[in-house]
Amino acid sequence: MLLDYEMLRLVCWGVLGLFVMGFVLSSGIEIGVSMLLPFLNASEPQRAGLVARLAPTSAGNQVWLLATIGVLFAGWPTVYAATFASFQPLVLLTVLSLFVRPSGLYFRSSVTREDWLKKWDKALFISGLLPAALLGVMVGNLLKGVPFHLASDMHIAFLGSFSGLFSPFAALVGATCVALLAVHGAIYLQTHTQDELYQRSKALTMSSGLAFLVLFALAGGWITHLEGYHVSTDIMPNGVSNPLTKFVKRGDGLWLDNYEHEPALWALPTLAFVCGIAALVLSRLDKAYWALLASAVTVVMVILTVGVSMFPFLAPSNISLNSSLTIWDASASQTTLSALLCLSGVMLPVMAIATRGLYKMLP
């Protein structure tokens, strides 16, 4: 049975979320391990072994990134244009650092000179820390609102500044993202190391995990007082895409609206916190595999928490409220969404199975 326009928009929004989860879960391991390399105090053979283990996964993880961007571009082209125009410097730095990492993983061991190895170790550290922090900063800006204006001809003007993207709240979300991916990478290391490296990975799991729990709680508390957004006119889920036909209001705590209407949604941030604690407990009990599963659930719950908090907004504007973009009024046509859903229905399971199989085959 063919889906109507409203259901297509909703399902494709869910598909976009699944691609985001796939990217964060797969690349999050690489990012986390890369960030933690300088803190492992590993010998050169141990460090080379860890790098060699991650190298085969790097190309596949970039596919998740490209697929996620492709889904956003195909499903919500106006959102793609507005966010990439507004976050252009952040996106450029993130993409460059993400694509530096595969080079470091493959070419680090091609020369055994000490200065060469140290430079690539620094490059790997930066290529882990930078995207984790900047992706968090972008999420923080989406929650806070992005300073763009949408003209009547759909021309997008970014009215902010580069420095303005680094507000205290955005920096807090960036730090939370760094801590989340660090604990994800540390637990992965715990599942693939022994003896001294295992103990160091275990210690890093505890420190980064505690940092995540504290930062996540602080960000959640801040959101209760952060100005959120709400569509104050009738929403037309089956209507023609035109972001300028609605009125949007802004006020403190409005990001909690969905939780007030559907109290069951509180399970998402609660599970993120509970599973984060469970990951630390399981790591402490030397049940690294189960700790990694708990960490993965934590990542998923954090992404879902952000998604349902903002729903139906994808890119709210804090300078031109009515220019804010939602899943209902900024989507592609019904035909395009139908094609996107069919294509994603094939790509998503294939990519998930391939990624899982690749990680499983690694020694």
Work out how many domains the chain is built from and give that number: 1
H/E element holding 310?
A: helix 288-310
Report, as an integer, the average pLDDT of 125-146. 93
pLDDT confidence of residue 12: 96
Q: Check: CB of residue 255 under 8 Å from CB of residue 143.
A: yes
Q: Check: CB of residue 285 under 8 Å from CB of residue 206.
A: no
Confidence of residue 344 (pLDDT cuts 50, 70, 90): very high
Say how far apart CA 173 and CA 177 lie, in whole Å: 6
- Mean pLDDT estimate for the chain: 90
pLDDT confidence of residue 15: 97
Backbone φ and ψ of 20, nearest 5°: -60, -45
Q: Which residues make Cβ contacts (< 8 Å) with residue 52, sequence separation at least 6?
A: 109
Before 312, cis peptide (omega within 30)? yes
pLDDT confidence of residue 109: 66
Q: Check: CB of residue 163 under 8 Å from CB of residue 7.
A: no
Q: How do the residues of the chain divide into helix, strand and coil, expressed in percent and rounded to 5?
A: 75, 5, 20
Residue 218 pLDDT exceeds 90: yes
Higher pLDDT, residue 102 or 11: 11
pLDDT confidence of residue 64: 92
Say how far apart CA 65 and CA 57 lie, in whole Å: 13
Question: Residue for token digits 């970039």?
Answer: 62
Q: At what angle do helices 195-223 and 168-191 cross, to 10 degrees?
A: 150
pLDDT digits (tens, 9 = 90+) for 248-293: 999 998 999 999 999 999 999 999 999 999 999 999 999 999 999 9
Residue 103 pLDDT exceeds 80: no
pLDDT digits (tens, 9 = 90+) for 159-188: 888 888 999 999 999 999 999 999 999 999
Confidence of residue 120 (pLDDT cuts 50, 70, 90): confident
- The range of the structural domain enclosing residue 215 comes to 5-361
pLDDT confidence of residue 363: 60
Residue 235 pLDDT exceeds 80: yes
Confidence of residue 216 (pLDDT cuts 50, 70, 90): very high
Q: What percent of the chain has pLDDT over 70?
A: 98
Residue 1 pLDDT exceeds 60: no
Q: Which residues make Cβ contacts (< 8 Å) with residue 204, sequence separation at least 6?
A: 36, 39, 40, 182, 186, 189
Confidence of residue 142 (pLDDT cuts 50, 70, 90): very high
How large is the C-alpha radius of gyration of the chain?
21
Torsion, Cα 119 122 128 134, to 10 degrees, reads -110
Bridge-partner residues for 252, per DSSP? 227
pLDDT confidence of residue 71: 96
Q: In terms of C-beta density within 10 A (0-12 exposed, 13-18 middle, 19 or more buried), how is residue 153 classed? A: exposed
Residue 227 three-state SS: strand
Confidence of residue 362 (pLDDT cuts 50, 70, 90): low
**CB-based contacts of 193-199 (< 8 A; 24+ apart in sequence):** 193/50, 197/40, 197/42, 197/46
Q: Is the pTM of this model over 0.85?
A: yes
CA angle 44, 46, 47 (to 5 degrees): 65
Q: Check: CB of residue 15 under 8 Å from CB of residue 348.
A: yes
CA pseudo-torsion sign 173, 175, 178, 181: negative
Residue 297: other Cβ atoms inside 10 A: 17
pLDDT digits (tens, 9 = 90+) for 23-66: 999 889 889 988 998 888 877 777 777 777 777 777 778 889 99
Report, as an integer, the average pLDDT of 125-143. 93
* Side chain identity at residue 83, one-letter code: T
